[in-house]
Amino acid sequence: MNKIIELQDLGSKDYKDTWDYQEFLFKGIVDTKIKNRREDANLETSNYFLFVEHPHVYTLGKSGDMSNLLINEEQLKAKGASFYKVNRGGDITYHGPGQIVGYPILDLENFFTDIHKYLRILEEMIILTLAEYGLKAERSKGETGVWLDVETPFARKICAMGVRASRWVTMHGFALNVNANLGYFDNMIPCGIRGKAVTSLNVELGKKEVDEAEVKEKLLKHFAVLFEAEVVKQDVKV
């Protein structure tokens, strides 16, 4: 089993271009697995972790409700935002500057074959990272993602998640609000959940800006431990 995960930080990159790149990496892993089974080959499958920041974009998951987007095409253009229906789980979400987006593209057969466990580990990575900033983050029963003050009237979401998995290969992932412009969340019903707010790390810490490179390092540290993996950085940008 290959427990080496190749890290690629794509910087700021268009959502559709990144989605296409995810599909390319995803297909490469799936094709290798198919070859192994058909030809009784023993080829190693790769694992990837992409960091990226997207220009303003709203995406709707397979089970999402279009009515959760509260603005029309003309208003999207006025706000400099785009919109895509995508092949991940979950409902609607927003990506934009000041948000750390992570896309693990893993062959889970290199680690464990349990999607529920996979999602809980991604949540745990976020929870442990936020704990380093003095925040008590937690899960909300029945709602994937990471929250603050769940059992209070002030519940607010700080990290959204939505994944796709086929043949135990994953894609899509998580979006952690670090220095995000929260005004863009007003244009949708986040994840289709009414009555709960959205927040960002800088807001919670009372800072104008949080060092995103530092947050990424903390995320990777916990990711590697939780997956019992070795993360190797690749400087190639696509």
The position carrying tokens 């909300």 is 140
Catalytic position from the list 119, 191, 215, 220:
191
8 Å CB contact between 130 and 228: no
Any known ligand binding at 160?
yes
- What CA–CA distance (Å, rounded) separates 33 from 38? 9
- State which amino acid sits at residue 201: L
Any known ligand binding at 114?
no
Any known ligand binding at 88?
yes
Any known ligand binding at 37?
no
Q: What is the dihedral of CA 103, 88, 110, 217, to 10 degrees?
A: 20
Any known ligand binding at 61?
no
- What CA–CA distance (Å, rounded) separates 2 from 109? 9
Any known ligand binding at 90?
yes
* 159 part of the active site: no
Any known ligand binding at 89?
yes
Any known ligand binding at 162?
yes
Any known ligand binding at 93?
yes
Any known ligand binding at 95?
yes
Question: Helix, strand or coil for residue 100?
Answer: strand
8 Å CB contact between 187 and 58: yes
- What CA–CA distance (Å, rounded) separates 15 from 23? 12
Any known ligand binding at 80?
no
Any known ligand binding at 65?
no
Residues acting as catalytic residues: 191
Which segments are annotated as binding site for substrate? 88-95, 160-162, 173-175
Annotated binding site: 88-95, 160-162, 173-175
